[in-house]
Amino acid sequence: MNIDYKLIGKRIAHRRKSLGLKQSEVEERAEIGYKYLSSIERGLSIPSIEVVMRLAAALDTTPDTFLVGSARQETARWESVAQYLRLLDEKQLDTAESFLAWLSEQG
């Protein structure tokens, strides 16, 4: 299987632009180096899995959006829940994660 890093970069750029964000804003959110995103978006740099995950979090999506092009349907409700989660501290996130795990087991 050949990995098309230019296509991955284009998907990242498309998502960034659709959110109206500058490269520098995403680099700051993802805690990656200056101009690194530009190289990734042009297919010149190969991002690690960790960087792909950081970019996905910074761009409010999932890594598969960039890697295979299949994004989950983002709804206003999903984004609303994500906004609440962003405001939580570590302890609150642990509690939320435990609750969500319990809730998913309830079927």
Q: Parse the chain into domains and list their residue ranges.
A: 5-67, 76-105
Q: What distance in Å separates the CA atoms of residue 107 and residue 103, rounded to the nearest whole number? A: 8
Structure tokens at 49: 């899995």
pLDDT at residue 73, rounded to an integer: 52
Write phi, then psi, for 36 (nearest 5 degrees): -65, -40
Q: In angstroms, rounded to a whole number, what is the distance separating the alpha carbons of residues 54 and 29? A: 8
Q: Identify the pLDDT of residue 76.
A: 64
Sign of the C-alpha dihedral computed for residues 7, 12, 18 and 22 taken in this order:
negative
What's the confidence (pLDDT) of residue 74? Answer: 55
CA atoms within 13 A on the CB side of 46: 2
CATH number for domain 5-67, candidates 3.40.50.800, 1.10.260.40, 3.40.50.300, 3.10.180.10: 1.10.260.40
Question: What is the block-wise mean pLDDT of the chain (107 residues), using blocks of 10 residues?
Answer: 90 94 97 96 95 95 85 62 85 90 84
